[in-house]
Structure 1
Amino acid sequence: MDVTRHNFREVFEHVERTIADATFLAIDGEFSGITNSAFNTTNYDSPEERYYKLRHNISDFLLMQFGLVAFKWDPDEERYVSEAFNFYIFPFRSTTPGLPDRVFSCQSSSINFLSAQNFDFNKVFHHGIPYMRQQEELALSNSLNEKHMMRIQSFKSPGKNADLLNRDSKSPMGSPTMITDMKTQVFLEGVKDKIKEFLKTSDESDVLELEPCNSYLRKILFETVPTMFSEPLLLESRTTEKTKLRYLAVSRLGSDENRLRKQEEAKAKDDSSLLDAVGFSRVVRLLKSSEKLIVGHNMLLDLLFTVRQFIQPLPPTLDELKALVTANFPLIIDTKLMSSTLPFRELIPVTALGELHNRLHEKPFAFPTIVPPDKYRSNVNSDSNLHEAAYDAYITGKSFLGMLDFLASLKSQDAKREVFANMSSEIISPYLNKVFLMRSSDIPYLNMSGNDLCPSRAHVFHVQFPTAWKSGDIRTLFAPVSSAIYISWINDTQCFVSLLDKSQVRQVRNTLIKPGGMESNPYIIRTYEEYQRDVAGQSFTAPPWRPRINATPYSRNKVWRPNSSAHNSAESSSSYITNSSGGNETPKSSTSRKRSGEDAALPKPSSVRRISSTSNRIGSLDLEEPDLKRHRVIDAVSASVPVAQSKAKTDIPALAVSERRDEDMDNSVSTSKPADEMFEVPEWE
């Protein structure tokens, strides 16, 4: 069901009942963009860094379409019944002081992609459902209450009202607002003459509509008109249908009974306007109050957009975000992460949503009986519906049930019935509140209800170099130590280099790391620990000071740095390292130039191997790809570390990635390693 602002009010109660009756819910969002290029993400971001970057990268964009599908278990028929809602969303426009006239951005690649999927932008811009955060709702509510109190004043005896207004007023017409210009006084005299004429010829049912005017003149009229006439009058602010200009309507109050009725009608109208303005945020609050399990696919961006747009601005630290997410959505499951873990990783080679859904239709998988939503019954398995938020939410929930059926089948038929009816089953507990973290080499997920993985990165080095350097120069630099390296680009002048053989770390320290800066050397090599401490660490871990973001437009070749000489002072500032060429080339174009077309020669994934959950190498996928949520490219280096390293202790099965070398891997080096080797990760709670 498509839901716009025109049918939202009549559909809301049905949505409320559907959420209350659901066994679990599935969600998906479509956005006007996914990165403003403020920061470029890398394979070796810490969780705090990644959140910091994403928070700034999405700050300009809108969630324009929200898909919600409720799945309800029918124990008598032993089947799921699903119902889908496709909400079109657009900001509330208000002239109320203190409420934002929102400004947002569109990313051309995202808009082009949605256009290619026949996305209906007219439904968004013309018929989108408004929304408000709670603080904004409070501001509007206070404004309407003040308006209501002013209206009550106008219902009082006009003589007393006039005495009150005239007591200390210097205004010639009794308004507490000073009127000094002759033009305003002439305007008031003209309105007074119109109302006099209206009162001579009208009855209680008639309404006089004044000409549209600005907010200052409307304020003067609200204050002045009740004092001009002995008969009580009602003034209401209205908006023209076509031009959306605001004007005042004047009518007689008449008897006390009629006054009370009009007062109640006006208050009811204000309350209704407030509900309409809050709009879709009411649905998000229903999700919170229901405390139902919410399923998404690669849902980190869905969560960030939902929190920022409908609840409150994103907090500055990752820990605060986790607390906020768990307070509003205490039970979440990410099917992207679930499908990347044992036992699915050996059976599902590609975990993009469409491919995942198609693979689950094949053996050894099976779905429970699912009654699809009305809209999708005729072409329920057709890819033509992909990238419509409600359909994506539906196949996300369906894919979850397919994997759940497989897990339950490993136990018994009774276990299937139990898990389908009860989403608190221990079968799903390993996946709860863990959200897939894309493009991360060794941290596959964010744990929203606990500590994140903290893998050792002693084998990772941060390299700073001249703009002219390419990947070949970096391999040449490390060749005396190792030719088996993995390069993760930051920008034109910085990258991370990971050694595939950790035993070579000491050689790099002794051979390549030299004293002095770039004044004495063409490059600087830091350990990852030094990079976190000197360059990035203070930026993303809730320091007592707050870095100031430069107001000038960002280049994706900039790297944010704290001012180490002043970060302990009250005037801490931030500085930037910028590409010396001064160009606006993005990392996407610059790294493509550096890689010199090597992408085309990459072998396609051919097999899956068993490695630990912290040994993933997720491919270099630029965030400008419009279909970020669906077409994930898994990029792996088919090498690991010595067997002596210990396994990480986690409560989630190991992730699998395909054996595919990065473009910056020396193709001449054999990377064949035993399949049971693991990356070392400290214990975590």
Structure 2
Amino acid sequence: MEITRKNFVEQFDNISKNLKKSCFVGFDAEFTALLSGECFKHRLFDTNEERYDKIKSEVGRMIMTQVGLTMFQYDREHDTYVATGYTFHLCPQAFGDVDQSFIFQASTLRFLCRHNFNFNKFTYDGIPYLSKAEEAQVRKHLADNMMFKNLTRMLEMEDEKLLQSHCSDVSKWLSDKEEDTMYIDVASPVLRYVLHNEIRLRFPEVLTTDSLGNSNKVLIYKDKYVEGANNVPLAILEENLMSHLLGFSQIISILEQHQKPIVGHNIFIDTVLLHNQFIGPLPKKYSTFKNNIHKMFPNMFDTKYISHVMAKKLSYDEVWKSNALQDLYEFFSEAKCKKLQSGVNLIKLSTPFDVQQTYHEAGWDSYCSGYCFTRLGHWAACENIGKFRPVGPAEALAALAPYSGKVNVIRGAILYMNLEGDDPPRQRPDWLHVRALKERVLNVEKLASLLAGLGSVDVKPHDSRSALLAVATQYTADKILRQFRDSREYKISMYNVYRHSKRARVAVWSSAIITGSLMLYIFHKSVKG
């Protein structure tokens, strides 16, 4: 189901109930920018901390325009999973001192157009949201009684005219009309809050409340002390305003409160965006970022990383074409996994998605991620049990518990980011050192071209005549060393920091000289004494 500003309030209770009843939640997001540019080039040299430092400023300018959530509930009686999927359309907002900004790349626009992205739903019907930092800022202004003043000062011209028109109508009604009550229909929750306060300020003898639960209508009584009616408390007006401003952030809060396992596919960038959009500005320290995400979502799973590890248990003929989401979903949904030919739990959607089921549509991708998770969990649980049979979500989650908090890292020095503790040590082979034998200045592009056919290799200049190589596997490292063993153009060897780094050699010699000088001084003092 598609959720926009138009039906968010109406569907909120159903979404909340489905979230609370779910055993885990599939997640996906679509962004306003493609991951292009120098900082997004994935290199085998990069540690996770270096990767985070390179991308945080750029990702901090991006937003999620769509969030897909699919709630997987377990029907114990029929031993099946029932999936309820939602695509939430989000749009940043300007409110008081909060003015959310973002970048929208032209290349992203082309990409979204190719995938039939609905820009009207984004701009006109997108659901607002606030980060925790922004929420704290707004609540402080409410507590300091500054919100009403700030809003009236920053109203747009059209809203200002509408406010003045409504107040003029109230003034005329108080002077001319015999009716004891008056209704004003105000669609904007922000303007409705301002109007309640403005009327009470200008006309202290009247009473304002909502219209029998119709939140769009402001009901005004001439008599402030009329029997059976009360001024709607300011605290309720403020909470109604906050509920509107928080928008989709309320869904994030429910996920956080109930600590439902969150399942996505290749979600490194997603976690950075989640922090920036729903927690606050990205922290300088990578460790702080990880701690904040883990505190909010203590049970996160990445099917990209899980499938990477579990693929090692399959033979060459059995394994999936790739562990991209589409290939992985089709591998499981089309029963290509020989280990899961029988005894698997049926998975069905409670209602079909409103839009065509295509990849890069957040709701559909969130369903695919959750679907793959159930199959990977079934496979892992059955291996633990020793036989293949239907398994419940508790068994599947227990079997996949070792993968909790491990988020896939594309083409880096370390295979995953560990949200639950320290990242693992470097898992790639040691670097190789290349020295040009003929060229006075090493041609990096030429070298990279020569190495391209030998495997996954990244080249980084070291000095004018040398470079460092990072490789994905030991097989590739060994192949390069064999291939260039007798080369007359390049000398390639295992990198040794003391042999190949001038700084390290200087540091070693400096240390030796200082140590030697100190020893001579001590010896001289002892002889003299």
Is the TM-score greater than 0.5? yes
Which secondary structure does the structure 2 equivalent of 1:385 belong to?
A: coil
Match of 1:317 in 2: 285
Match of 2:126 in 1: 128
Match of 2:366 in 1: 393
Q: Which runs of 5+ in 2 are unaligned?
A: 154-164, 186-190, 210-217, 486-493, 496-529
* Distance (whole Å) between structure 2 residues aligned to residue 345 and residue 15 of structure 1: 41
Q: Against the structure 1 CA distance between its residues 471 and 281, is the aligned structure 2 distance closer, same or farther, given a 3 Å change threshold? A: same
Matches within 5 A, 1:350-389: 350-360=322-332, 361-366=335-340, 367-376=344-353, 384-389=357-362
* Distance (whole Å) between structure 2 residues aligned to residue 485 and residue 405 of structure 1: 34
- Tell me the CA shift for residue 142 of structure 1: 4.0
- Tell me the CA shift for residue 222 of structure 1: 5.8
The amino acid of 1:138's aligned partner reads A
Cα deviation digits, residues 143-173 of structure 1 (max 9, x gap): 445659989xxxxxxxxxxxxxxxxxxxxxx
* Distance (whole Å) between structure 1 residues aligned to residue 400 and residue 12 of structure 2: 31
* Distance (whole Å) between structure 2 residues aligned to residue 370 and residue 55 of structure 1: 37
Match of 2:105 in 1: 107
Would you say 1:449 and 2:420 are equivalent positions? yes
Match of 1:639 in 2: 476
- Tell me the CA shift for residue 13 of structure 1: 1.4
* Distance (whole Å) between structure 2 residues aligned to residue 192 and residue 358 of structure 1: 61
Question: Contact conserved, 2:205 with 2:222, CA < 8 A, in 1?
Answer: yes
Matches within 5 A, 1:146-165: none
- Tell me the CA shift for residue 200 of structure 1: 3.1
* Distance (whole Å) between structure 1 residues aligned to residue 386 and residue 467 of structure 2: 56
* Distance (whole Å) between structure 2 residues aligned to residue 191 and residue 351 of structure 1: 59
Would you say 1:88 and 2:79 are equivalent positions? no
Q: TM-score, normalised by structure 2?
A: 0.71
Pick from 254, 269, 274 the counterpart of residue 301 of structure 1: 269
Match of 2:31 in 1: 31
Pick from 221, 225, 228 the counterpart of residue 256 of structure 1: 225
Which secondary structure does the structure 2 equivalent of 1:86 belong to?
A: strand
Match of 1:160 in 2: none
The amino acid of 1:428's aligned partner reads L
Question: Contact conserved, 1:488 with 1:496, CA < 8 A, in 2?
Answer: no
Matches within 5 A, 1:411-422: 411-412=384-385, 416-422=389-395
The amino acid of 2:296's aligned partner reads N
Q: Against the structure 1 CA distance between its residues 270 and 467, is the aligned structure 2 distance closer, same or farther, given a 3 Å change threshold? A: farther
Match of 1:488 in 2: 458
Which secondary structure does the structure 2 equivalent of 1:401 belong to?
A: helix
Match of 1:282 in 2: 250
Which secondary structure does the structure 2 equivalent of 1:333 belong to?
A: strand
Question: Contact conserved, 1:443 with 1:453, CA < 8 A, in 2?
Answer: yes
- Tell me the CA shift for residue 616 of structure 1: 7.1
The amino acid of 1:348's aligned partner reads W
Match of 2:12 in 1: 12
The amino acid of 1:19's aligned partner reads L
Cα deviation digits, residues 378-423 of structure 1 (max 9, x gap): x9xx9x5211111111111111122222223335488755553445
Q: Against the structure 1 CA distance between its residues 466 and 71, is the aligned structure 2 distance closer, same or farther, given a 3 Å change threshold? A: farther
Match of 1:330 in 2: 298
Which secondary structure does the structure 1 equivalent of 2:298 belong to?
A: coil
Q: TM-score, normalised by structure 1?
A: 0.56
Matches within 5 A, 1:39-58: 39-41=39-41, 42-58=43-59
Which secondary structure does the structure 2 equivalent of 1:488 belong to?
A: strand
Question: Contact conserved, 1:38 with 1:57, CA < 8 A, in 2?
Answer: no
* Distance (whole Å) between structure 2 residues aligned to residue 408 and residue 145 of structure 1: 51
Q: Against the structure 1 CA distance between its residues 457 and 253, is the aligned structure 2 distance closer, same or farther, given a 3 Å change threshold? A: farther
* Distance (whole Å) between structure 2 residues aligned to residue 25 and residue 37 of structure 1: 32
Would you say 1:202 and 2:39 are equivalent positions? no
* Distance (whole Å) between structure 1 residues aligned to residue 394 and residue 26 of structure 2: 16
Cα deviation digits, residues 156-214 of structure 1 (max 9, x gap): xxxxxxxxxxxxxxxxxxxxx9xxxxxxxxxxxx99999876643135424799xxxxx
Matches within 5 A, 1:646-661: none
Match of 1:438 in 2: 410
* Larger mean Cα displacement after TM superposition, 54-63 or 123-132: 54-63
Question: Contact conserved, 2:205 with 2:224, CA < 8 A, in 1?
Answer: no
Match of 2:313 in 1: 343
Would you say 1:65 and 2:63 are equivalent positions? no
* Distance (whole Å) between structure 2 residues aligned to residue 275 and residue 109 of structure 1: 35
Q: Against the structure 1 CA distance between its residues 267 and 141, is the aligned structure 2 distance closer, same or farther, given a 3 Å change threshold? A: same
* Distance (whole Å) between structure 1 residues aligned to residue 434 and residue 122 of structure 2: 44
* Distance (whole Å) between structure 2 residues aligned to residue 277 and residue 53 of structure 1: 32
The amino acid of 1:202's aligned partner reads K
Which secondary structure does the structure 2 equivalent of 1:374 belong to?
A: coil
The amino acid of 2:8's aligned partner reads F
Which secondary structure does the structure 2 equivalent of 1:60 belong to?
A: coil
Q: Aligned pairs, how many?
A: 442
- Tell me the CA shift for residue 309 of structure 1: 0.4
- Tell me the CA shift for residue 65 of structure 1: 0.5
Would you say 1:402 and 2:375 are equivalent positions? yes
Would you say 1:137 and 2:135 are equivalent positions? yes
- Tell me the CA shift for residue 321 of structure 1: 1.4
Q: Against the structure 1 CA distance between its residues 639 and 117, is the aligned structure 2 distance closer, same or farther, given a 3 Å change threshold? A: same
Which secondary structure does the structure 2 equivalent of 1:307 belong to?
A: helix
- Tell me the CA shift for residue 85 of structure 1: 1.1
Match of 1:575 in 2: none
* Larger mean Cα displacement after TM superposition, 253-262 or 447-456: 253-262
Cα deviation digits, residues 640-668 of structure 1 (max 9, x gap): 45xxxxxxxxxxxxxxxxxxx9xxx7997
The amino acid of 1:140's aligned partner reads V
Q: Against the structure 1 CA distance between its residues 350 and 395, is the aligned structure 2 distance closer, same or farther, given a 3 Å change threshold? A: same
* Distance (whole Å) between structure 1 residues aligned to residue 481 and residue 247 of structure 2: 55
Cα deviation digits, residues 516-547 of structure 1 (max 9, x gap): xxxxxxx165779xxxxxxxxxxxxxxxxxxx
Match of 1:164 in 2: none
Would you say 1:429 and 2:401 are equivalent positions? yes
Question: Contact conserved, 1:461 with 1:496, CA < 8 A, in 2?
Answer: no
Which secondary structure does the structure 1 equivalent of 2:85 belong to?
A: strand
What is the root-mean-square deviation in Å for CA atoms of aligned residues?
Answer: 4.5
The amino acid of 2:382's aligned partner reads S
Question: Contact conserved, 1:133 with 1:281, CA < 8 A, in 2?
Answer: yes
Which secondary structure does the structure 1 equivalent of 2:181 belong to?
A: coil
- Tell me the CA shift for residue 77 of structure 1: 0.7
* Distance (whole Å) between structure 1 residues aligned to residue 441 and residue 228 of structure 2: 76
Which secondary structure does the structure 1 equivalent of 2:25 belong to?
A: strand
- Tell me the CA shift for residue 430 of structure 1: 2.4
Question: Higher relative contact order at CA 8 Å, sep ≥6: structure 1 or structure 2?
Answer: 2
Q: Against the structure 1 CA distance between its residues 422 and 14, is the aligned structure 2 distance closer, same or farther, given a 3 Å change threshold? A: farther
* Distance (whole Å) between structure 2 residues aligned to residue 459 and residue 57 of structure 1: 29
Question: Contact conserved, 2:206 with 2:220, CA < 8 A, in 1?
Answer: yes
* Distance (whole Å) between structure 1 residues aligned to residue 268 and residue 227 of structure 2: 54
Cα deviation digits, residues 250-307 of structure 1 (max 9, x gap): 966523247972343x653442221011010111111111112111100111211112
* Distance (whole Å) between structure 2 residues aligned to residue 30 and residue 369 of structure 1: 28
Question: Contact conserved, 1:295 with 1:397, CA < 8 A, in 2?
Answer: yes
Question: Contact conserved, 1:408 with 1:416, CA < 8 A, in 2?
Answer: no
Question: Contact conserved, 2:24 with 2:73, CA < 8 A, in 1?
Answer: yes
Q: Against the structure 1 CA distance between its residues 445 and 616, is the aligned structure 2 distance closer, same or farther, given a 3 Å change threshold? A: farther
Q: Against the structure 1 CA distance between its residues 195 and 457, is the aligned structure 2 distance closer, same or farther, given a 3 Å change threshold? A: same
Question: Percent identity over the alignment?
Answer: 21
Q: Against the structure 1 CA distance between its residues 191 and 362, is the aligned structure 2 distance closer, same or farther, given a 3 Å change threshold? A: closer
The amino acid of 2:445's aligned partner reads S
